[in-house]
Structure 1
Amino acid sequence: MHDTESSVATATEPGNHSPNVSQAFYDPDGDATLVQTVLDALADASERPSDELTVRLYDVVDPDALNDLFRPTRNGPPRDIGRVSFSVEEFAVDVHADGRVFVRRTN
C-alpha cells in the first residue's frame, strides 16, 4: 500500500473480493483530488509509485471535468449517485459518486 492522502487498498486485503482489483476511496473533504485518488489507485494496481507512472490520464479523460464530476452541488447536497468508467493503458477504471474508485488490470 502506498503512503498517500487517499485511502488505497488492494483487493487482496480482508474484505475485498478480487486479487486483480485495486480500490481507493475519494474523500471530497480531504486533501487529495479525485484525479490524485485515481492516480494513486493506478499506481497501486501497477505496483509502482505514482511519480513513476507512465499513465497519461489526460489522454483519456479531462482531469478538471473528473474532479468536478462528483463535487457537491452549489446548493449543498453531494452527488451520491452515478459512475464514470474509462480505460487507460492496460487498466479499467470505475469511479463511483460515493467516492469508491476501482482499478482493474485488463491484460
Structure 2
Amino acid sequence: MKTTQSPGTHSTNAHSENTQVYCFEHEPDAEQTLTVSIARAIAAVTGTEPGSFRPRLYDVLDTEALEQLIRRSREAGSQVKVSFEIADLFITINGNSRILIQMPSTS
C-alpha cells in the first residue's frame, strides 16, 4: 500500500465542513488483502496501531463481500465505488483499489 496524495484540507460534497483527505493505493497483486490495506490506511491517518481502531472494519461491513466486489469489478474492467462511515471517518474504495479517507479537519 502506498500513499498517492499528501493530506490536505479540501471542501467536499460528503460533508459540509472542511475535511482532511488522504489517498492510498492498494496493490491488488500484493499478498496483503484489501481489508488489511484499509486497516493500515485508517491506522496511518488516525495515529493508531493497525487492528486497534474501534469499531473494527468487520463490525461495520462485510469485508469478504467488499473484497469480492472490488476484485470482480477490477477483473471486469468496470468502476465500482463503495463508501462507508466508521467513527468520524468517511471511507471510499474505488474499483481501481484506491482508498480515500476523509476525516474532520482539526483546525
Q: TM-score range by the shorter chain?
A: 0.7 to 0.9
The correspondence of residues 59-70 of structure 1 with structure 2, limited to 5 A, is: 59-70=59-70
- Counterpart residue number, 2:3: 8
Q: CA deviation at 1:67?
A: 1.3
Does the Cα contact within 8 Å between 2:9 and 2:20 map onto a contact in 1?
no
Equivalent residue, structure 2, for 1:83: 81
- Residue type of the alignment partner of 2:54: T
> What is aligned with 1:47?
47
Tell me what 2:102 maps to: 104
Higher strand fraction (1 or 2): 2
The one-letter amino acid paired with 2:58 is Y
Residue identity over aligned pairs, in percent, reads 22
Alignment gaps of 5+ in structure 2: 11-18
Larger helix proportion of the pair: 2
Q: Taking structure 2 as the reference length, what is the TM-score of the superposition?
A: 0.74
After superposing the two structures, state which structure 1 stretch, 37-46 or 86-95, moved more.
Answer: 37-46
The answer on whether the counterparts of 2:26 and 2:99 sit within 8 Å (CA) in structure 1 is yes
How many residue pairs match? The answer is: 97
TM-score calculated relative to the size of structure 1: 0.74
Distance 1:10 1:86, change over 3 A: same
Residues 17-75 of structure 1: per-residue CA shift (max 9 Å, x gap): 758122211111111111111111111111222143223111221011111111147xx
